[in-house]
Amino acid sequence: MCGIFGYVGDESAGPIVYRGLETLEYRGYDSAGVALRSGGSDELTIEKRAGEVAALSVPTVPDAISAIGHTRWSTHGAPTDENAHPHTGCDDRLAIVHNGIVENYEAAKADLDEHTFTSETDTEVVAHLLERELDSLEESGPDSPPRDGSPGRPDGGTASREGESADAPDSSDVAWRVRRALESVVDRLDGSYAIAAIHERDDCIVATRNESPLVVGHGSNAAFLASDVPALVEHTREVTYLDDGDVAVLTPDSVSIYRDGRRVEPSISTVEWDADAAQKGGYDHYMRKEIHEQPTALRQALGSRVDVDTGTASLDVDFPQGYLESVEEVQFLACGTSAYAGRYAATLFESLADVRATSVTASEYAFTGGRDPWRTLAVAVTQSGETADTLSALREARGAGARTLGVTNTLGSSVTREADDALFIRAGPEIGVAATKTFASQVSTLALLAIAVGRERGTLTAATAREHLEDLTALPGAIQQVLDREEQIRAVATTFADSDAFFFVGRSYGYPVALEGALKLKEISYDHAEGFPAGELKHGPLALVTDETPVLAVLTDGAGRRESLNNVAEVQARGAPTIGVTTAGVDAGSLDVAFEVPDAGVFSPLVANVYFQLFAYHVANEKGRSIDKPRNLAKSVTVE
């Protein structure tokens, strides 16, 4: 997670950035910090400390009109003062803040042996790389950007990139050098990042992003930068959503965006949100925050467990030697959203590991039979690790002699104590009653298990495993693309909010997503919503379909698109509005609304699910529902 806020303008920067951090605190509260530039002394003042934003006093450097700030949700390194952002190199010339995970930071650090590090973070490595790049730019010639219309440096040097707009000089020498240094450093980074940098010698902020959000706010004699729009709306509604690879240079009177080294016109959108509502704790609800946390949650779930090159998924579970080879059935025991994750996983296990797999509603497990406990792996899937029905099914399976595995988000929960083994989905805390990010993390973690089992049993080749692992590791970026389209989804949800009922359909991996889409909508909007296998509509539910009942269809890869399109045509013939999620670039017929996802193979429906989450959220929000605490429900259900 982590929140970034930046300001450069004609007012005192400290209090403005501090306020921005307070608004962004939902993104992380392990530590907070700011770097402010004093115009009088040409130096940076950095204040940072572990704990919430409130632990930091409002920074007061009277002549500072530019500053960047950060709220941290720890990934690399404990939540300490030292690991708090901003970070610098060996000197305090330049400071940066970062949101994301730089995966190759250790390799980069090994190449910086003359540098001294003061934190355990991946971010500090980036600060040192930038410092080294600035040193070399300073050493290599006069410190001036092109100002005379020529594409190169004024001394005739060649530091300018080919294609750079000749009539668009940088705002200053310093801005030019920092931009160049940042472009060069991020070329060598793997992973996700939103990075903002500030230099002691100029009132400008230089920023870029890859798979982590970053939005520029356009003010009057001011420019803002934030991880998310809610922190901007009290200052401006005119924003530019940066694309991956964009570099933004903010000064008090200009915002310049560079793409592939060429300056491009910023595309400005007007935010429609009411400023007061948007201020409520940053995100207006935990649920929305948690939907937006999915890219980070997935990186945590997958991170160190995946080796794409060798097609290996390593999970921290020690099954007895030879156990996985002998398993004949995997049973997923769970409730609600976790049960739909189990259903998705069952199809993955059958297809990737060629082992019989079933998903059983935990509260029904006691009434099922026909299992051979000695050859069955019973997997209890539970976010909280405390769901009574699931624990009861787990005990039933264990009592019958099955080996058990708890897949959970909660360290130390009952399931971790009662199951033979535990596997953590690493999604981070989920507070909204409606499960969102944990569904994505459950499916992804179980996919790794399916791959590991398939490899162990020799049913999955390394090459095929590699393809699936590539699709999995691309999920954070693919989901971010959906999140970046939230405004479009909100508009569609508003249009259909008054419908009589909603039907969700999908096949194969699209079916559990249809069930989950319907569950999300019903539990927070209180509307009637049902999920079906697309092919089942004609066997009964079609009688309910009218022009007042939108049908939402998963039409991506991995969801039986060709056949499902016939079912979509059947509901269209009955007048139903259709909203489909398709794979980008694939013909999906004549839907009333078509949303796209990048091709993520069998995980494409998991990306489609993010549209359904946001759709449900915005329908419920339109109706003024109690989104984080829906009536009659609770987060952790500890009664049978």
Residue (236 or 390) nearer to ligand F6R, CB: 390
Q: Which residue stretch of 59-67, 228-236, 336-344, 531-539 sits at the interface with ligand F6R (rule: CB under 6 A)?
A: 336-344
Q: Which residues of 547-579 are buried (b: 16+ CB within 10 A; e: fewer)?
A: eebbbbbbbbbbbbbeebbebbebbbeeebbbb
Residue (351 or 384) nearer to ligand F6R, CB: 384
Please, what is the minimum distance in Å from the beta carbon of residue 384 to ligand F6R?
Answer: 3
Beta-ladder partners of 36: 45, 67
Please, what is the minimum distance in Å from the beta carbon of residue 386 to ligand F6R?
Answer: 7
Instruction: Dihedral sign for Cα 449, 450, 451, 456, please.
Output: positive
Which of 523, 527, 557, 599 touches ligand F6R by CB under 6 A? 523
2, 48, 437, 522: the catalytic one is 2
CB burial class (10 A; 0-12, 13-18, 19+) of residue 296?
A: buried
CB burial class (10 A; 0-12, 13-18, 19+) of residue 43?
A: middle
Residues 368-427 that bind ligand F6R (CB under 6 A): 382-384, 387, 390
Please, what is the minimum distance in Å from the beta carbon of residue 101 to ligand F6R?
Answer: 25
Residue (390 or 508) nearer to ligand F6R, CB: 390
Please, what is the minimum distance in Å from the beta carbon of residue 412 to ligand F6R?
Answer: 14
CA distance 512 to 478: 19
Catalytic residue check, 520: no
Which of 335, 446, 505, 513 touches ligand F6R by CB under 6 A? 335
If DSSP codes are grouped into helix, strand and coil, which group holds residue 591?
Answer: coil
Beta-ladder partners of 269: 239
Sheet holding 238-241, edge to edge: 43-50, 31-38, 64-72, 3-9, 222-226, 215-218, 238-241, 269-270
Please, what is the minimum distance in Å from the beta carbon of residue 321 to ligand F6R?
Answer: 31
Catalytic residue check, 48: no
Q: How many CA atoms lie within 13 A of 396 on its CB side?
A: 22
Question: How many angstroms separate the Cα of 211 from the Cα of each of 270, 286, 462?
Answer: 22, 21, 27
Please, what is the minimum distance in Å from the beta carbon of residue 27 to ligand F6R?
Answer: 22
- 28 is a site residue for ligand F6R (CB under 6 A): no
Residue (384 or 578) nearer to ligand F6R, CB: 384
Q: CA angle at residue 624 from 618 to 625, to 5 degrees?
A: 85
Question: How many angstroms separate the Cα of 212 from the Cα of each of 215, 255, 558?
Answer: 10, 20, 26
- Number of residues forming the site for ligand F6R (CB under 6 A): 15
* Crossing angle of helices 437-457 and 604-622, rounded to 10°: 170
Please, what is the minimum distance in Å from the beta carbon of residue 335 to ligand F6R?
Answer: 4
Could you give the string, one character per residue 432-451, with x where binding to ligand F6R holds by CB under 6 A and - elsewhere?
Answer: --xx----------------
Which of 294, 337, 359, 609 touches ligand F6R by CB under 6 A? 337
Which of 165, 312, 459, 636 touches ligand F6R by CB under 6 A? 636
Residues 248-307 that bind ligand F6R (CB under 6 A): none
Residue (7 or 340) nearer to ligand F6R, CB: 340
Which of 23, 121, 123, 338 touches ligand F6R by CB under 6 A? 338
If DSSP codes are grouped into helix, strand and coil, which group holds residue 401?
Answer: coil
List, in sequence order, the alpha helices (H) in 315-413.
323-326, 336-348, 388-399
Which of 89, 336, 531, 550 touches ligand F6R by CB under 6 A? 336
Please, what is the minimum distance in Å from the beta carbon of residue 415 to ligand F6R?
Answer: 8
Residue (176 or 615) nearer to ligand F6R, CB: 615
Residue (388 or 544) nearer to ligand F6R, CB: 388
Here the tokens at position 155 are 């001394």
| Residue number closest to ligand F6R, CB atom | 336
Q: Which residue from 204, 203, 156 is spatially nearest to 179, judged by alpha carbons?
A: 204
Q: Output the 3-class SS for 225-293.
A: EECCHHHCCCCCCEEEECCCCCEEEEECCEEEEEECCEEECCCCEECCCCHHHHHCCCCCCHHHHHHHC
Whether 65 and 8 have beta carbons less than 8 Å apart is answered as yes
Could you give the string, one character per residue 43-62, with x where binding to ligand F6R holds by CB under 6 A and - elsewhere?
Answer: --------------------
Whether 360 and 331 have beta carbons less than 8 Å apart is answered as yes
Could you give the string, one character per residue 500-519, with x where binding to ligand F6R holds by CB under 6 A and - elsewhere?
Answer: -------------------x
Residue (241 or 504) nearer to ligand F6R, CB: 504
Residue (171 or 338) nearer to ligand F6R, CB: 338
Whether 83 and 74 have beta carbons less than 8 Å apart is answered as yes
Contact positions vs ligand F6R (CB under 6 A): 335-338, 382-384, 387, 390, 434-435, 519, 523, 636-637
Positions annotated as catalytic residues are 2, 635
